[in-house]
Amino acid sequence: MDASSSSTTPTTRSNERYGLGSGRRPLTHEALDGLPEGKAVEHIRSVLVAIGVLPKRDEQMVRLERRVKDLVTSHATAEGQRILHRYATWHLLRRLRRRSRGMDITHTQLTVTRQHLRAAVHLLNWLEDQSFTLATCSQRDLERWMTSNDVRHRREAGHFVRCALSQKIARDLSFPAVRWNGPSQPMDDEARWATARRLLHDDSLKTEDRLAGLLLLLYAQWPAAISRLTVDHIEETDGVVRIRLGAVPVELPAPVAKLALQQVGARRSHAVLARTDSPWLFPGGQPGRPISVWAMGERLRKLGIRLAEARSTALFQLATELPAAILARALGMDITVAVKWQRAAAGDWAAYAAEISRRANLSDPQGEVHDRR
């Protein structure tokens, strides 16, 4: 093996394979989109974006738009395709862009949106098989589908039906939304605090895992939100460290602040690229990209954290201590969600709320995070 072959990198070999280095294929996103999907192509794309050859774009949104096009064209009739296109473009995608507020969407958001569209396709296919349309379908027909053995994504289909009613595409139908009456996951505050103490004091664990786990256990942050934090979300002024999870920065207690500053100073991407600095607080394996939501969730699960249960417990406690408006602004959640959690905490869960409301704040004068017995 000569020196030239031994010095080639996986990226170089991939460029040669796809004709990117020879000039046979232009260096554009569209050119890469025309190649077979896979990790090699995505790695090339991330490298080109990281070094500024290609502009940054929301890859999850691009992937979702492709899936939307495929699902819309999968329906047999032109009328059905028109309805699906209208539903996808003017309702699902527009709402998703509004909620993302200019940030890249997550894989979870992609999956949820795709499930909603699949539900619509499934219902329209069933109506077509029964020689019905949304306009001619009766409530009795709809209920027959809802109780059939092959029904899929029933809750998501309800979202489609209600949208069709609001747009006058369907009429005389009723598909009530499922009302949220509080957390469905069991809540174990003892286990939550025990895990938080372990993350604070166990130096054998990685700093990034400890910090991510505490953001979930103490501040009810989903892996999707944690993975998209940048170093600029951590602020230090006059010895006080704050983290910006929503519109209002939250002051971190001393031991959590220490971990946050350590992570800011030591963050490194596993994919080192010409010493390119990563803005992400939790860098991922591809240059210029944060850790994926799936990978973040797996790391937290390996710490023994049950994601949904831990978040419900943390959010429930916070909802008993903070007004809904402050909760929404501090944690970066929608105000309607904050109001629902506060109502749940003040309603059927009153006995539990009375107990945890006596617990201490996140820190004591010595900076120790704990609960007060």
- pLDDT at res. 154: 86
- pLDDT at res. 52: 81
Mind listing the pLDDT tens digit of every residue in the chain (373 residues)?
444 444 455 555 555 555 565 556 678 888 887 888 877 888 888 788 877 888 888 888 888 888 899 999 998 899 999 999 999 999 999 988 887 777 788 777 888 899 999 999 999 999 999 999 999 999 999 999 988 887 888 889 999 999 999 989 988 888 877 666 566 655 678 888 999 999 999 999 999 999 999 999 999 999 989 998 999 999 999 989 999 999 899 999 999 999 999 999 877 444 444 445 678 899 887 777 888 888 999 999 999 998 888 998 898 889 888 888 999 999 988 888 888 888 887 754 444 445 545 554 444 444 455 443 3
pTM score of the predicted model: 0.66
- pLDDT at res. 300: 95
- pLDDT at res. 201: 93
- pLDDT at res. 346: 75
Mapped to the 3 state alphabet, what secondary structure does the chain carry?
Answer: CCHHHHCCCHHHHHHHHHCCCCCCCCCCHHHHHCCCCCHHHHHHHHHHHHCCCCCCCCHHHHHHHHHHHHHHHCCCCHHHHHHHHHHHHHHHHHHHHHHHCCCCCCHHHHHHHHHHHHHHHHHHHHHHHCCCCCCCCCHHHHHHHHCCCCCCCHHHHHHHHHHHHHCCCCCCCCCCCCCCCCCCCCCCHHHHHHHHHHHHHCCCCCHHHHHHHHHHHHHCCCHHHHHCCEHHHEEEECCEEEECCCCCCEECCHHHHHHHHHHHHHCCCCCCCCCCCCCECCECCCCCCECCHHHHHHHHHHCCCCHHHHHHHHHHHHHHHCCHHHHHHHHCCCHHHHHHHHHHHHCCCHHHHHHHCCCCCCCCCCCCCCCCC
- pLDDT at res. 22: 52
Domains of the chain are 3-50 (no CATH), 59-166 (no CATH), 189-356 (1.10.443.10)
